[in-house]
Amino acid sequence: MIATWLCKAIALRFNTVDKPDDLVKTHKKPVACLGGVGVLIGFSVGILCGIYLVRGENFLPIVIRWLLGIIAGAAISCFVGVVDDIFNISPAKKMLGQIIAAVPIMLAGILPDFGEIVRPFGFQMSDGIAIAMGIPVVIFFVLGATNSLNLLDGLDGLCGGVTL
């Protein structure tokens, strides 16, 4: 909450605001942008506190890798959102940025395990095929999550409340 308040103050100071229009933006007065930066900061602090709390556990190295991959992907996605808020970039550039945001998540090893799905049916799947099938799934979920939140951003507080 503190980070969001600070980001709002910075956005108002530098006039980084979203102005209402008659089409999509239904708010009555200009609304500060950069709320996503505040949410990212709060999210990152929460993850780092969680890592601190589980220090010394045997599973910590893999959990750190996963969580840092998620933070990196979220930071890229947040950066794309800020650039879009300020410069109103094209949907293609926004989608490219969102696909790039999926890369650190996959590099951290967060992929669906298709081997577990097909094993009960007596099939085997090589790691290469499972990874090749998992990449579009992760990209689909990152694009879906990012754009669903972006679509909720039209009403004040709705995106933040749903994200919470």
Indicate whether 10 belongs to any domain: yes
Task: Please give the share of the chain, as a percent, with pLDDT higher than 90.
Answer: 48
pTM of the model: 0.86
> For 68-108, how does the pLDDT look when each residue is reduced to its tens digit (9 = 90+)?
999 999 999 999 999 998 888 999 999 999 999 999 999 99
Indicate whether 125 belongs to any domain: yes
Number of domains observed in the structure of the chain: 1
Indicate whether 58 belongs to any domain: yes
> For 101-160, how does the pLDDT look when each residue is reduced to its tens digit (9 = 90+)?
999 999 999 999 888 888 899 999 888 999 999 999 999 999 999 988 887 776 666 776
Indicate whether 71 belongs to any domain: yes
Mapping DSSP onto H, E and C, the string for the chain reads CHHHHHHHHHHHHCCCEECCCCCCCCCCCCEECCHHHHHHHHHHHHHHHHHHHCCCCCCHHHHHHHHHHHHHHHHHHHHHHHHHHHHCCCHHHHHHHHHHHHHHHHHCCCCCCHHHHHHHHCCCCCHHHHHHHHHHHHHHHHHHHHHHHHHHCCCCCHHHHHHC
Indicate whether 164 belongs to any domain: no
Indicate whether 82 belongs to any domain: yes
Indicate whether 123 belongs to any domain: yes
Indicate whether 52 belongs to any domain: yes
Containing domain of residue 131, as a range? 2-159
